[in-house]
Structure 1
Amino acid sequence: MLTSPMSDAAVVVEEQAAVLKTLPDFPLSNQRCASQLQQRLDLLLLAIEALDVGSASKMLASAESLGLQSIIPHALALWRLRCTNPWRRSYNRTLLTLDQAKALTAIAHYQAKPLNVTMRQLLIAERQMRAKQLPVGTNFLLSDYLDQFRSHFSSRMNPRRAKVSVLLASEPAMDDFALGLLNQLMFCTGTIGMERLWISLFDGEVA
């Protein structure tokens, strides 16, 4: 008896399961993630947007290619997941499920990986500027990224949050923060970068 081919829906589920199973589960209360983890994921994606103008649409394309449509079927769904960052103006007070957090982690990895060379150039430029004791924002390679990040951050984050207000009030602090996110993104671009990023998100969070 011939076996019928898998339906398109079954193939999607199979692919999605493969991506999600790549990342280990952690014994968390109610299988929900901590708000600090959600904040970090959103900020890493914000840094990617500052690096790559067209990255918002590419994130949706990555979700589709990774078979994550049931978690992120459209732009609104992605926006809602990112608004679990408590620093957001539009914070929705929802805690991500493990699968939702895994989906955002996978997207961050696959979006950051092609930007590896760009990020490396920026971080080299940062070291050179600091060695010369010059403001990092005066470097032409860095200025575009820092300006874009500051614009995204100020338009999307809630200035009533204490840490947000501190960053908005200090250009050097904002620059250091944006460059710190670049270093974190570099961390997740290697061969097992997605797994390393995922595990790092849970440092001190596992119950």
Structure 2
Amino acid sequence: MMTQSPTTDLEHDAVLALQQLPDPEPPLAQGLCPTVVAGKLDLLLLAIEALDRTGAELMMMVVKELELNGVIPNRVLLWQLRGANPLRRAHNRRLLTLNQARALLLVLVYLAKRLTILIRQLLLAGEQLQQHGVDLSHHPRLDDYCQRFRTHFRKRMNPRRERLQIYRDDERLNLLAIDLLHQLLFCTGTCGAQRIWASLFVGEVL
């Protein structure tokens, strides 16, 4: 009697997870995502990195835990997928396939859920500081997150891109960093993965 392949068993949950994120309407040309999708995913992952000092090693551990190795087999491809963001200095003109975008999103949602309490705390702190007209530097953890986000952003994004000209000063980058926290929290809610997936195909990158 034939036995089922262990590889098939291993990939079953990953296939189901990928299938929960439907193809966008209208269908994409050749099944490739527009660059706006790569840009949004990369910025959200950048915010995760700033929150948790998350590196490629941890992301690949999540890829393995979610059994997404068939889509993102190694760190080199992960780096290339991040480089599909057209705003990056090291933009590689790659277009993500739907499954590559799905896999990045599932990693993102997994990490965001792990950080839900911290994200809520930072957003609450930001709202309280704003209500009292107090600079975010008065909240060390929020200030630390924004500083790391600004550092990552300026190191990795191409300052010559027209879309990035408004982010020359710290205040605008802080606002972007906090907006991304709202989006990360959105990921952690009911049907968060499906809802953020749909939002990737609407609007501009920033």
- The question of whether the paired residues in 2 share the 8 Å contact of 1:84 and 1:96 is answered with yes
- Judge conservation of contact 1:84–1:92 (CA < 8 Å) in 2: yes
Q: Which residue of 2 aligns with 1:101?
A: 101
Q: What's the CA shift string for 1:97-132, capped at 9, x where partnerless?
A: 111110011011001001000000000010011101
- Is residue 44–residue 184 contact of structure 2 (8 Å, CA) maintained in 1? yes
Question: For structure 1, which segment, 196-205 or 84-93, has the greater mean C-alpha deviation from structure 2 after superposition?
Answer: 196-205
Matches for 1:130-169 after TM superposition, within 5 Å: 130-167=130-167, 169=168
C-alpha deviation, 1:158, in angstroms: 0.8
Deviation at 1:31, TM superposition (A): 1.2
- Per-residue deviation at 1:9? 2.1
Q: Map residues 112-191 of structure 1 onto 2, 5 A cutoff.
A: 112-167=112-167, 169-191=168-190
Give the one of 5, 8, 16 matched to 2:6. 8
- 8 Å Cα contact 1:63/1:72 also seen in 2: yes
Q: Which residue type is aligned with residue 174 of structure 2?
A: D
Percent sequence identity over matched residues? Answer: 42
Alpha-carbon separation, structure 2, partners of 1:78 and 1:137: 33
The reply on whether 1:17 has 2:15 as its aligned counterpart is: yes
| Structure 1 residue 163: Cα displacement | 2.7
> 1:162 deviation in Å?
2.0
How far apart are 1:55 and its partner, in Å?
Answer: 4.7
- Please name the residue that 1:84 is paired with: 84
Matched residue of 2:12: which SS?
Answer: helix
Cα distance, 1:51 vs structure 2: 0.3
Aligned to 2:56: 56
Deviation at 1:63, TM superposition (A): 0.9
CA RMSD between the two structures: 1.6
Opposite residue 198 of structure 1, the aligned amino acid is W
TM superposition score normalised by structure 2: 0.92
Structure 1 residue 190, shift from structure 2 partner: 1.8
Counterpart residue number, 2:199: 200
Q: CA deviation at 1:75?
A: 1.1
Where structure 1 has 5 or more consecutive residues not aligned to the other structure, the ranges are: none
Q: Cα distance, 1:137 vs. partner?
A: 3.3
| Structure 1 residue 204 displacement after superposition | 5.6
> Partners in 1 of 2:130 and 2:201 — Cα distance?
31
- Supply the AA of the counterpart residue of 1:147: Q
Q: Secondary structure at the match of 2:175?
A: helix
Q: Where has structure 1 moved over 4 Å in runs of 4 or more?
A: none
Give the CA deviation at 1:170.
0.9
Unaligned residue ranges in structure 2 (runs of 5+):
none
1:136–1:175 contact (8 Å) kept in structure 2: no
Does the 8 Å CA contact 2:48/2:54 hold for their aligned counterparts? no
1:7 CA drift (Å) = 2.1
Residue correspondences, number: 202
> In 1, distance between residues paired with 2:78 and 2:158?
19
Secondary structure of the equivalent of 1:68? coil
CA distance in 1, matches of 2:54, 2:48: 10
Cα distance in 2 for residues equivalent to 1:3 and 1:158: 54
Q: Is the 8 A contact 1:48 1:55 kept in 2?
A: no
The one-letter code sitting in structure 2 at the alignment partner of 1:8 is P
* Aligned mates of 1:158, 1:204 — CA distance in 2: 21
Task: Name the TM-score, length of structure 1 as normaliser.
Answer: 0.92
Residues 37, 201 of structure 2: 8 Å contact kept: yes
The alpha-carbon deviation at position 15 of structure 1 amounts to: 2.9
